[in-house]
Each structure stands twice: as structure tokens, then as C-alpha cells.
A and B are shown apart, each in its own frame.
Chain A
Amino acid sequence: MNKITEQLLRAVSGLSGVFRGAYNIREDGRCAGRQSTEHIHIESKTDQPGLVIHIQPGTMGETVYIPACVTSGGIDDLVYNDFYIGAGADVVIVAGCGVHTENGEQARHNGIHRFFLEQGAHVLYQEKHIGTGSGAGARVIDPVTEATLESDARLEMDTIQISGVDHTFRKTSAVLKDRARLVIRERIMTDGQETARTSFEVRLNGIDSGVDLVSRSVARGHSHQAYYSRIIGENRCTGHSECDAILAEQGTVEASPTLLAAHADASLIHEAAIGKIAGEQILKLRTLGLTEQQAEQKIIEGFLK
């Protein structure tokens, strides 16, 4: 691993020392380290770049790390990772990504992740994205996530884009069977001329399936963000989506939620709020002794926490 990878790994995976348990580190399109465990097997795909990760049924309390780093401009990394989570397993998947460029050329990572959760499986998926380096080369991350949740499965996605990613287009889609549950917490911060698009399509196919999708974003500088969501209720189900955005300086945000109730017992809700930080919020924190800048920073930190 080179030093930039080490720095990026610290930022996106909280790495200090070595990973414990199953992991695969991807550096500039190549494997920079891998370990399987008794219950989690990581193998390379043979037909395309990427991994197949098998988590045995009933695996409990284990974590698998699959960070990816692009450490220089001129690299366009594309990877296809498939996760098969066995019935009744309860695991954490940490999948951060960092892109770095200083040579004026674009650095891009495009991770296409497919999740197959068997009956009753539970996955907490954590993902941090960051861009670093100077120069005119764009830092681009375009993740695609496709999930299939069998009955009683639960997938919690906790994703955050910290800073420095010039462009991102996030696509997330999922199909939920009976009583399956999808919880998404997405946070995106953009600044300068950065752009971020995020798109969700969730198909609530099974009876009593449910999705709770919350996207929070902060658009600073002259950055622009766009949020699209489409929740389709095909059975008795519950769907909730919420898009909250804070605008700072000249940042702009558009939100375009769609709800499609294709069943009489589908219960779907959307909430959206876009605007600047409320003056009263700044004022309140100033009465606690913070400056206006400190107050704004605290409000944003809390919002994206």
C-alpha cells in the first residue's frame, strides 16, 4: 500500500494498523491485501473485475472491509462486487472509497455492488466517500448499489460523502420481499463547483415490507445537488422518504421524489425541506457563546452526523 492509500483508508474506514477479520483492499484497480475468515469468503471474479463475497448462513457479529482507493489521476477504476449474505447472518460491511489526484487528470472509482440477502439476514452497510489532492483533475465516485432482500431480511445503509468529490452520481435500487426492511441514511456535503446526484428506486414487492429513506445534504459554494427517489408499493407496505438540504452561500439543490402506490394498502410518505440555516438556529448557538461561523459549522456537523 502506498502512503496515499493509507491516508485514504484512515479517512474512509477508520483504519489504524490492520483490519481484523475479512477484508479486501483495492488500490488503483488492484488487490493490495485480502483475507477471508471461516465464515466470510472473498474471491476474485473471473469474468470481470471485482469480488464475490460469500457470508455463510448464521454468521454473527463479523465485519468485512472492502475499501477502494484511487491514488492518482488518469485511473478509471471499475469494479463489480457481489455480496451473498446467508440466511440469518448478522454482519457489518464497511465499504469506503477515496479518490486522490494531483497530476491534473481525472481520478474515478465506480463501484457496482450487488447485495443478495437471504431470509432473515441483517446487514449494516457503512460507506464513506472522500476526495483529496490538489490540481485541476476531477475526483469522481459513481457508486451503484443493487439489493435484493428476501423475506424478513434487513439492510441498513449508512453512507456519507465527506468532502472533495467533484462529481458523484449515486444509484441505489432495491427489491424487498415479505417483511423485508430497508433503512437508508445518506449524507452528502458538496462545496465549490462540485455536483452530486443521488437516485433511489425501491420496489416494495412483499407484504409488510418497508423502506425508510433519509437523505441529508449540504450544498455550499456554487455546488449543486439533485435528489431523485421513487418508491413503488406493490403490496401492503410502508415507505417513507425524506430529503433535507441546507443551502450555504450559492449552493443549489433540487429534489424530485416520486411515490407510486400500486396497491390499495400501500402507505407511502415523502417529506422534503430545502433552505438556508434558520437565523434563529444561529442566534441560539450564539447565545451559548459561539461565533456565527462556529454556530454554522456546528449546525452542519450535527445535520450530517
Chain B
Amino acid sequence: MLELKHLRWSLPDGAEIIRDVSVDIPDQKLVVVTGPNGGGKTTLARLIAGVQTPDSGQILLDGEDITGLDVTQRANKGIAYGFQQPVRFKGLTVRDLLELAAGEKLDEPTVCELLGKVGLCAQEYMDRQMDAALSGGESKRVEIATVLARRAKLSVFDEPEAGIDLWSFSKLVETFQELHRSQNGTLLIISHQERILSIADEIIVIADGTVRASGPRAEILPVLLQGEWAARCPWGKETVCDE
């Protein structure tokens, strides 16, 4: 289980982005974090992955305090993180990146399987460089595949749907469902998409840097779908919906 206890994080100018967030992410669940843009979701994901360090508070993984561990150490503890904006590399191929993620050489069927899960044809992409020759959507799908290759205890995806076409998105939703069924790990997905929210076991709503609601999908999703989400935040202050 991942436990976040009273996490706080501010920008250098003092603006508080995460305000006293406490939440538990149970094992083997598919948990979706949602909420308005600028509400702190990505920052929360980065704090979990160790990309950023909280100003205060604690992060516990299976009871172990990992707050002081850096991003490498957390990765080696079993936390995988998929960036919202995929990173490009000149020279490294798709296969190179997947092998680095897996921590071993991968045979061709395994590479095919990983890329197939994100809707990419392995033969076409395996040896392509991870540079600007790949479109944004293609890079994003490879980014997701690197997280899948980790087979991590906790996989964190930051808006995996961003930049992905409708067909690939459908495939991605199926992949998350399959992962959830077949793997022992926990999936933590940051998303605005109803289709991803609808496969969640639990939903956490973050707005204005705080947890506005959390609980089983059946309890949270109907409120989210009341239809007024874009106009005002149903969880409290109207100002939190400002971008």
C-alpha cells in the first residue's frame, strides 16, 4: 500500500501546489486521480515518483518511509512513472528504451507484446529512434510501454490519454483493464477521461492542491458526471476551477 501523509509542496515563489494531502492507495487496485487543470495532480504524481521532493509530509510504500529516497531509489523500490510529456532521445531506439525499462535484453516477441499493448506495430517501431521523427502520440505510447515494461509494484501514469488518437485510446483502456486483471501491481492513473474513470476501482479528486473526495467509483463517479464539472467545481470553492 502507498500512503501519503500530510504532503505539502510549494513553488520557489511560495505558491502552495500541494496542501496537506493525505490519502491511501491500496494494493492491486486501479485508482484514478482526477480534478481540474492546475489542481496539483501532476505534482502529486511527481512527488510519488520522487521526481520532486515534498516540503513536508511522508510517503510510505508498504509501510517503509520512502520520502527521503531519490527517483532512482524509488524506481528500484518498484515505482514506475509515465511522464505526461514524453521525453525524446536522439540515438536511443524504442527497443533501447524498453530494454532499459525492463532492466534486461528483450527478445523480439516481448518487444512486440509491449508495443502491441499500446497500439504500435513492433516491426515498424522497434528500431526507430526516440527522436522528433516520432509524432507526439507515438512518443506517448512508447512512454506508456516503458512503464508497462517495468512490471512495477506501483505504476503511475500521468494523463496517458493526452495526445493519443481515439483508436489507440480504446486499446489503451483495454490494456489498463488487462493489466489490472493480470498483474499484481497497483495502477495509479491521472486522467480526465470518463472511459478511464469508468474502469477505476477508486477515484480521488484533487483540486486546489487538496483531496476533495476519494472513494469507490460507484460513489464518486456519479457526482463527477453531474455535468457541471467544467463550469464549477462541485467539491468546494469555485475559485479552484480557475486555470
Contacts and interface: CB of A to CB of B under 8 A. Distances in A.
A288 B87 contact: no
A288 B146 contact: yes
Interface string B78-100: 00110101010111110010001
Given A298-B100, A302-B96, A286 B90 contact: no
A290 B72 CA distance: 6
Contact of B91 (A278, A289, A292, A303): A303
B89 A299 contact: yes
Contact of A289 (B72, B83, B93): B72
A139 interface: no
Contacts of A299: 89, 91-92
B103 interface: yes
A269 B89 CA distance: 22
B91 A302 contact: yes
A292 B49 CA distance: 15
Nearest to A287: B81
Interface string A266-305: 0000000000001011011111111110000011011111
B231 to A, nearest CB: 35
A189 to B, nearest CB: 13
Interface residues of B, number: 23
Contacts of B90: 216, 244, 302-303
Main secondary structure of the interface of A (DSSP, over half): helix
B92 A287 contact: no
B75 A281 contact: no
A289 B75 contact: yes
Nearest to A305: B91
A interface, how many residues as a size bin?
20 to 34
Given A283-B51, A283-B71, A302-B96, A288 B150 contact: yes
B91 A216 contact: yes
A191 B110 CA distance: 38
B76 interface: yes
B173 interface: no
A266 B112 CA distance: 42
A278 B35 CA distance: 30
A284 B91 contact: no
A288 B224 CA distance: 34
Contact of B76 (A244, A289, A298): A289
A280 B83 CA distance: 10
Nearest to B96: A302
Contact of A284 (B70, B87, B96): B87
13 contacts: A280-B85, A281-B87, A287-B80, A287-B81, A287-B83, A288-B100, A289-B150, A290-B72, A292-B72, A298-B100, A302-B90, A303-B89, A303-B91
The 5 residue pairs across chains A and B that have the minimum distance between CB atoms: A302-B91, A302-B92, A303-B91, A284-B87, A289-B75
Given A283-B71, A287-B80, A302-B92, 9 more contacts: A284-B87, A285-B100, A286-B75, A288-B103, A289-B150, A299-B92, A302-B90, A302-B93, A303-B91
